[in-house]
Each structure stands twice: as structure tokens, then as C-alpha cells.
């Protein structure tokens, strides 16, 4: 019995020694650079793929910026920072697989350079594809000749997608973000339906409406409370995603019928105009099965195209995200308790991205 215990102890010591030599003690194959525990010290991230696609993220006093031009999407940024803090090297890639892994890293890998807030380089490594046993991701420290399998504890899958180099994945998706207190006016022009179109103008807490004069007759008079409620829905309204650069995108928008134009102005000079177009009925359109009375049968009931940012960007928006914006003029002449103009929740986060 004592001999068995002794043998087991010796085996444990040998295993620990091998681990320390391979993972910790080999200075030619460093692994510590894969993990950045203090992500608060990071000031800049640069990611580039083998084909030259790249993004640069900089920490600024007002938040993270992408390519020094756009605000970064918090969910994508936070996921990468969390990955850098949690990922760790498991073991070196086996010799039999190392050559293939190295070739894949050279052609399809993503290089990431990490700098601190003073611009000093903290770490540089390359991110490859999924490991052979599907339990981690192949990575290589810059300057090393030995790739490692890297993982995040309790996460089964590969990490490559978190190191995306595509601008559309990094850009903040805000369409409108003007709080009620700063709203000056909102105008909605429904294409081909002037009677449903309107403009609400706010001066401090006083609101007025411009709409078809016929609406003032036979209804209950302008409901100012409803107009105030409506104006609260322009804080944190997001799109589903950017579709810039997609083949035939311009042709699609040019031939799509217009649904509406929304023009929002703020008291501090904020201005966002978006032109919205119907999206053709497609395979995932729910109204192929159940018709929607608010949407023509030939068009998708859940999603629309929109052109934003002074016609620089084309995006997809969701009816769900805009449901409290797509009101019609007559609804502001109804009594409370009728129609669908309701108070927004405490935190009006109206974006539900399709996963």
C-alpha cells in the first residue's frame, strides 16, 4: 500500500514538472500574454486579419471609439475585454498538428495588438481557429514558434468570433438617442399617407402638433399628454445592424417603396433624419403565415431598411424597436385609455438583436 502511494506521489510530481516546463518554464513559448487581467489598463486595441481587414479601438474620455470615427458597440467591446481577462493557455498544440495550425494562423489568423493607456505595447498574439478536440482556440504569441490551445473556463466553443475585424460588428447601433428633456421636435412623414403624418414641437414642457386640420374635427381634441409620452421614446433606439457594402444593396434600396421619413431635432443641435423603406417578403417573414393589418402583404412585418447618418449608412431596423414611434396623427387626438400610446418603461432599451 505504501509503495502504491509512493508511486502515485512520484507520478504527480512528474506531471507537475512537465506542466511547469511546457506551460510556465519555456521562455521561448510565453503564454502569459494571452491573458490581460486588468483590462482597465488597456488603452488601445488593433486587430488585423491576413487579408488586411482591420479595426482600431481607442479608449477616450467619452468612451471607446472605432477607427477614431465611430462609437464602439458596448456588447462587442465588453465581450472581448472579458475574454482577454478570462482566457488562458491550456497546453501547446501537439507536434503532429503544429505545422497545419501554424499555416492556418499565417493565412487566416487574426493578429491583435494590445496597448496600455500610455501607448506602451502590452501584448501581441495571433488568433486561429478551433482546436482539434473542440475544447479551445489555437493561438500564438507573436515571435513564438509554438502555438497553444487557449480557452475560457466553463465555456465550450472557440473564441475567434470575439476577435472580429469587421467594422459593422464594432459600430454602435444607435439611431436615436435624445432624452425627452432635450427634444425640440419630431416629424414623421408617412409616404403616400399625409393624413397620418404629423410633427410634434416641444418648447420646455409645452407641446403642440402640426397635422391634417381635419383631425381637429370630430375627435376629442389634441391630447398633449400623449404627445409628451411619445417624445420619451427617442432615447436609446437602435438598429439591428449595418448592411453597408452588401452586394446589390443600393439597387435593393432604390427599388424598395418608401415607408416613412422620421426627422428628430434636439435643443443642442442634435439632428437625425432616417428614411425607411419596406423590406420584401422573405423566407423568415412571419406574415407569410399570419397577415399583419399594418403591413402590406408583399412586405416583411418585422424588419425594414433604413438610411441614416446623412445617407452614409444603410441599416436594418425592427418593427419591435420602432413600435412606439410608428404612431399616426389621429392617435394624438384620442382620449387616454384608447389606442396604444403608453408610458415607456424606466429604462427604454428598445433593441432586441436576433441571435
pLDDT tens per residue across all 355 residues of the chain: 555 545 545 444 444 444 444 444 443 445 678 999 999 999 999 999 999 999 999 999 999 999 999 999 999 999 999 999 999 999 999 998 999 999 999 999 999 999 999 999 999 999 999 998 778 999 999 999 999 999 999 998 889 999 999 999 999 999 999 999 999 999 999 999 999 999 999 999 899 999 999 887 766 789 999 999 999 999 999 999 999 878 777 788 888 999 999 999 999 999 999 999 999 988 777 776 666 777 887 889 899 999 999 999 999 999 999 999 999 999 999 888 766 665 555 543 333 333 2
Instruction: Confirm whether 22 is domain-assigned.
Output: no
What pLDDT is stored for residue 340 in this prediction? 62
What pLDDT is stored for residue 347 in this prediction? 40
What pLDDT is stored for residue 344 in this prediction? 57
Cα separation, 137 vs 68, in Å, equals 30
Same domain, 165 and 182: no
- Domain of 240 in residue numbering reads as 174-333
**Closest among 130, 164, 141 to 36, alpha carbons compared:** 141
Same domain, 150 and 181: no
Residue ranges of E strands in the chain: 42-49, 54-60, 63-66, 70-71, 88-92, 110-116, 121-130, 137-141, 148-151, 174-176, 183-190, 198-203, 206-211, 237-238, 241-242, 258-266, 271-280, 299-308, 313-318
Q: Over the range 256-294, which residues count as b (16 or more CB within 10 Å of their CB) and which as e?
A: beebbbbebbbeeeeebebbbbbbebeeebebeeeeeee
Same domain, 144 and 267: no
What pLDDT is stored for residue 17 in this prediction? 45
Same domain, 320 and 198: yes
Cα separation, 129 vs 104, in Å, equals 8
Same domain, 158 and 178: no
Give start and end residues of each alpha helix (H) in 72-185.
Answer: 74-86, 95-108, 167-170
Same domain, 250 and 214: yes
Same domain, 62 and 106: yes
What pLDDT is stored for residue 20 in this prediction? 44
Same domain, 158 and 180: no
Cα separation, 64 vs 77, in Å, equals 8
**What global pTM score does this model have?**
0.79
- What's the number of domains the chain is made of? 2
Same domain, 206 and 284: yes
What pLDDT is stored for residue 317 in this prediction? 97
What pLDDT is stored for residue 298 in this prediction? 84
C-alpha cell at 340: 396604444
Instruction: Confirm whether 13 is domain-assigned.
Output: no
Same domain, 264 and 119: no
Same domain, 150 and 239: no
Instruction: Confirm whether 43 is domain-assigned.
Output: yes
Instruction: Confirm whether 181 is domain-assigned.
Output: yes
Instruction: Confirm whether 14 is domain-assigned.
Output: no
Between the alpha carbon of residue 271 and those of residues 173, 239, 306, 314, 336, the distances in Å are: 16, 17, 16, 17, 30
Which of 151, 170, 189 terminates a domain? The answer is 170
Same domain, 225 and 161: no
Amino acid at each position: 500500500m505504501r509503495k502504491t502511494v509512493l508511486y502515485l506521489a512520484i507520478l504527480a510530481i512528474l506531471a507537475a514538472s512537465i506542466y511547469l516546463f511546457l506551460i510556465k518554464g519555456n521562455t521561448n513559448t510565453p503564454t502569459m500574454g494571452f491573458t490581460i487581467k486588468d483590462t482597465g489598463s488597456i488603452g488601445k486595441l488593433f486587430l488585423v486579419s491576413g487579408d488586411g481587414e482591420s479595426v482600431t479601438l481607442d479608449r477616450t474620455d467619452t468612451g471607446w471609439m472605432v477607427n477614431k470615427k465611430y462609437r464602439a458597440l458596448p456588447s462587442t467591446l465588453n465581450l472581448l475585454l472579458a475574454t482577454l481577462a478570462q482566457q488562458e493557455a491550456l497546453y501547446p498544440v501537439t507536434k503532429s498538428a503544429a505545422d497545419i495550425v501554424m499555416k492556418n494562423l499565417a493565412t487566416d489568423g487574426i493578429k491583435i495588438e494590445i496597448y496600455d493607456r500610455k501607448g506602451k505595447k502590452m501584448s501581441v498574439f495571433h488568433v486561429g481557429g478551433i482546436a482539434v478536440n473542440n475544447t479551445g482556440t489555437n493561438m500564438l504569441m507573436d515571435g513564438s514558434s509554438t502555438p497553444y490551445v487557449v480557452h475560457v473556463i466553463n465555456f465550450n466553443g472557440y473564441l475567434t468570433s470575439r476577435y472580429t475585424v469587421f467594422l459593422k460588428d464594432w459600430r454602435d447601433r444607435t439611431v436615436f438617442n435624445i432624452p425627452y428633456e432635450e427634444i425640440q421636435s419630431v416629424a414623421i412623414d408617412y409616404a403616400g399617407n399625409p393624413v397620418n403624418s404629423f410633427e410634434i414641437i416641444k418648447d420646455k414642457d409645452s407641446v403642440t402638433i402640426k397635422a391634417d386640420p381635419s383631425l381637429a374635427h370630430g375627435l376629442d381634441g389634441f391630447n398633449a399628454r400623449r404627445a409628451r409620452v411619445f417624445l420619451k421614446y427617442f432615447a436609446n433606439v437602435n438598429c439591428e445592424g449595418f448592411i453597408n457594402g452588401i452586394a446589390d444593396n443600393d439597387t435593393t434600396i432604390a427599388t424598395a417603396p418608401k415607408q416613412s421619413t422620421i426627422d428628430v431635432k434636439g435643443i443642442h443641435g442634435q439632428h437625425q433624419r432616417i428614411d425607411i423603406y419596406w423590406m420584401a417578403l422573405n423566407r423568415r417573414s412571419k406574415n407569410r403565415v399570419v397577415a399583419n393589418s399594418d403591413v402590406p402583404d408583399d412586405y416583411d412585418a418585422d424588419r425594414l431598411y433604413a438610411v441614416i447618418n446623412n445617407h452614409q449608412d444603410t441599416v436594418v431596423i425592427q418593427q419591435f424597436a420602432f413600435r412606439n414611434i410608428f404612431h399616426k396623427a389621429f392617435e394624438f387626438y384620442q382620449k387616454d385609455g384608447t389606442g396604444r400610446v403608453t408610458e415607456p418603461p424606466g429604462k427604454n432599451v428598445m433593441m432586441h438583436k436576433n441571435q
